[in-house]
Amino acid sequence: MEYTNLGRTGLRVSRLALGTMNFGELTSEAASFEIMDAALDAGINFFDTADVYGGPQSPDMEKGFGTSEEIIGRWLARGDRRDRIILATKVYQPMGTGPNDRRLSAYHIRKACEDSLRRLQTDRIDLYQMHHVDRHTPWGEIWQAMEQLVREGKVTYVGSSNFAGWDIATAQTAAASRNFLGLASEQSLYNLSARTVELEVIPALRYYGIGLLPWSPIGMGLLGGVLRKASEGRRATSLLQMRIEQHRSQLERYEALCQDLGEEPAVVALAWLLHNPAVTAPIIGPRTVEQLTGSLRALEVSLSDETLRQLDKIWPGPGGEAPEAYAW
């Protein structure tokens, strides 16, 4: 396994992060335990979850909230594993129907952190990530709450998710005024078929020394060989079917290129992200141990400059970084 620093921090994390959104919903607890065991054995030390993961992410549902964290907590309780992993979770999403059961007020951050610690059966969260920007709460309040958790030893690093470039700049400016480290990482949608973050998010992360954790690195299955799987009789969701038809021409060229390379499409998609120096660790979300094992292959794949050019032709980005992408 390869390891790298999480942004400008001294924390070393594996180049692949284990995403656990499927735990408790699409993946049983027993299968989740097997996946975490296999990930740890493979050297993956970076585990990512969220308070809302584990079931339908709706405040009207009585079941599902916190299930992923609870599964991880029971896995941690089975042995001496806590100090072998970097544990990341998130706060912001609705965890109930009350007016203060969501977002990033100091009130909700404190309560959500305590609830996550209880479900995870641990005394600290290594990376506490804001699941979305909260434009209704001032940064002074947000950072005060995070600083308190850091002082109490309940949180070590703070991260963001789904932030725009200007959100990152605003957050860091406010943190610097308080002599606080601020953001260590940003978790963004980023893959060959979704490259908007190249405009302003990645330049902001590079400037501030913040790590990039791409979520949905294979485009919710789009980049995982969907055309071949369809020919083998495997069914896709209606949403994925719609996206297949939307991108069929690109997918045909992409899967043909992967076949010429002798690599699985999902592996090429992950390897493409790993070649980018801005990327710390793509977040993989395996539903089985076999999917986890397949993802590890990406660490061994080196894409040539010609292959990268071909991928850019098939899946063009926004044209570079702003403003040069659209202006002189």
Show which residues are catalytic. Answer: 53
Q: Which residue has the tokens 């065991």?
A: 37
Give CA–CA dist 147/140, Å, rounded. Answer: 10
Give CA–CA dist 64/126, Å, rounded. Answer: 23
Give CA–CA dist 56/44, Å, rounded. Answer: 27
Give CA–CA dist 269/275, Å, rounded. Answer: 10
Dihedral through CA 211, CA 216, CA 222, CA 226, nearest 10? 110
Q: Please state, in angstroms and as integers, the Cα–Cα distance from residue 156 to each residue in 5, 10, 43, 179, 273, following that order.
A: 15, 12, 22, 16, 27
Q: Please state, in angstroms and as integers, the Cα–Cα distance from residue 102 to each residue in 44, 64, 109, following that order.
A: 31, 16, 9
Give CA–CA dist 205/278, Å, rounded. Answer: 8
Encoded tokens for 194:
């979704």
